[in-house]
Amino acid sequence: MQLSREQMLQAYRRMKVIREFEERLHVDIATGAIAGFTHLYCGQEAVAVGVCEHLDVEDKIVSTHRGHGHCLAKGCDVEGMMKEIWGSREGLCKGKGGSMHIADTDVGMLGANGIVGAGAPIAVGAALAAKLDGKGKVAITFSGDGACNQGTTFEAMNLAVVTKAPCVFVFENNHYSEHTGFDYAVGTQKDIASRAEAFGMQVWRADGTDFFAVHDTMRELLDYVRAGNGPAAVEFDTERFFGHFEGDPQRYRGEGELDRIRATRDCLKNFRKNVVSAKLLTDSDLDEIDAAVLDQIEAAVAAAKAAERPTAADVLTDVYVTY
């Protein structure tokens, strides 16, 4: 199904926001302006956006340690996120959570997560709630090729199957879990989707660096899940452009690997090439977005720098609702 001009512009803009958000964090982390453990999503934008463009606020997602892209794609506020990562009291989580724990339940974003594999069971719960509500909503869990080895992920897949939960297991295979290669850590040496299939799920596979492939796949998959057929899984082959965390020396990469994936597997470049050559959008349409996004990110950083800092009195707030 052909996307409208507006849909394409919106998708490109969302991917670009993620890209520039991350590129800017990369700079501000290197100078020491931002503290903590930060895992950048650069390179995987087409997955987050290609998935989330099909969702509304009542659909839920559960994310990972590499969560900025999922948050932005689901509609978390850019400035609120930037402030959070800068540790401000005005941040989306009041500076309590930081990069690894960004959440905004108002937009159906149930949290990034510092514990690998913790997200999948949570998504099953959210899916069961959606099933109870009976409005055709779904819950999506994003997992990596590393997280797919965690027992929690296996348990969640089986629970979703036996309960026919409207849960979607999105596996982003970026070929690395930290410094370990996919070929070593995933025993099937084949793919992740076949594991999900073995649990009794319908599965899909697609190129995660091609926005249109992701978007088309997800349309089909979500039609299936929303129709009450139970859970489904999809594996997207994708790339991470930066280190596992900021500061990773990446000595496990092959010669020229980063240059190669930046040149040939960049979802933003691929998107532009596709839509311009098919005369769906023009270079200047996209250039306009690029410029606007850079301004938006610059403004978010300025706001984060100027934002109020938390104080000692904030430590003990929000531990409980009442106590």
Partner 1 sequence: MAQMMYRDAVRSTIFEAMEQDDRVVVLGEDVVGGMGTAGGPEAIGGIWSTSTGFYDRFGPDRVIDTPISESAIVGAAGGLALAGKKPVAELMFADFIGVSLDQIWNQIAKFRYMFGGKSTCPAIIRMAYGAGFNAAAQHSQSVHQFLTAMPGLKVVMPSTPEDVRGLLREALRGDDPVIFLEHKALYGVTGEVPDGDYTIPFGHARLARAGQDLTLVATGLMVGRCEVAADTLAKDGIGCDVIDLRTTSPLDEEAVLDSIEVTGRLVVVDEAPQRCSLATDIAALAAQKAFASLKAPVEMVCAPHSPVPFAAELEREYLPSADKIEAAARKALAWR
Ligand X SMILES: Cc1ncc(C[n+]2csc(CCOP(=O)(O)OP(=O)(O)O)c2C)c(N)n1
Residues that bind ligand X (CB under 6 A): 64-66, 114-117, 144-147, 174, 176-178, 244
- Contact flag: residue 191 with Mg ion (CB under 5 A): no
- Contact flag: residue 151 with partner 1 (CB under 8 A): yes
Handedness of CA 259, 14, 223, 4 (dihedral sign): negative
1's contact among partner 1, Mg ion, ligand X, none, with CB below 5 to 8 A by partner kind, is none
* Residues 62, 70: Cα–Cα separation, whole Å: 8
Q: Contact with partner 1 (CB under 8 A): which of 147, 160, 193, 214?
A: 147
- Contact flag: residue 237 with Mg ion (CB under 5 A): no
Choice between 12 and 241, CB closer to ligand X:
241
- Contact flag: residue 32 with partner 1 (CB under 8 A): no
Choice between 178 and 285, CB closer to ligand X:
178
Q: Which two tokens mark 115? A: 């514990």
Angle at which helices 45-52 and 5-30 pack, to 10 degrees?
A: 140
Choice between 31 and 189, CB closer to Mg ion:
189
- Contact flag: residue 149 with partner 1 (CB under 8 A): yes
Q: How far is the CB of 68 from ligand X (least distance, A)?
A: 11
Angle (CA) 230-47-49 rounded to 5° is 95
Q: How far is the CB of 49 from ligand X (least distance, A)?
A: 16
Q: What is the DSSP letter of 139?
A: E
Here's the x/- map for Mg ion, 105-144, by CB under 5 A: it reads as ---------------------------------------x
* Residues 44, 40: Cα–Cα separation, whole Å: 9
DSSP string, 233-300: EEEEE----S-SSTT---TTSPTTHHHHHHHHS-HHHHHHHHHHHTTSS-HHHHHHHHHHHHHHHHHH
320 in Cβ contact with 43 (< 8 Å): no
Burial zone of 258 (CB within 10 Å; 0-12 exposed, 13-18 middle, 19+ buried): middle
Q: Contact with partner 1 (CB under 8 A): which of 169, 182, 236, 271?
A: 182
DSSP string, 190-213: S-SHHHHHHTT-EEEEEETT-HHH
* Residues 38, 22: Cα–Cα separation, whole Å: 10
Question: What number of chain residues touch partner 1 (CB under 8 A)?
Answer: 51
Choice between 171 and 271, CB closer to Mg ion:
171
> Alpha carbon 301 to chain centroid distance?
21
- Contact flag: residue 259 with partner 1 (CB under 8 A): no
- Contact flag: residue 311 with partner 1 (CB under 8 A): yes
Q: How far is the CB of 271 from Mg ion (least distance, A)?
A: 22
Q: Contact with partner 1 (CB under 8 A): which of 185, 276, 280, 303?
A: 185
Considering only residues 74 through 103, tell me which ones interact with partner 1, judged by CB under 8 A: 87-89, 93, 95-98, 100-101
Q: How far is the CB of 9 from partner 1 (least distance, A)?
A: 35
Q: How far is the CB of 95 from Mg ion (least distance, A)?
A: 28
Q: Contact with partner 1 (CB under 8 A): which of 113, 173, 209, 238?
A: 113
* CA nearest to 122, candidates 105, 97, 134: 105
* Residues 288, 186: Cα–Cα separation, whole Å: 42
> Alpha carbon 30 to chain centroid distance?
23
* Residues 134, 96: Cα–Cα separation, whole Å: 34
Q: Which two tokens mark 279? A: 């005369």
**Residue for token pair 């027992």:** 151
Chain residues that interact with Mg ion, rule: CB under 5 A = 144-145, 174, 176-177
Chain residues that interact with partner 1, rule: CB under 8 A: 35-37, 87-89, 93, 95-98, 100-101, 113-117, 146-147, 149-152, 176-187, 249, 251-255, 257, 309-312, 314-316, 319
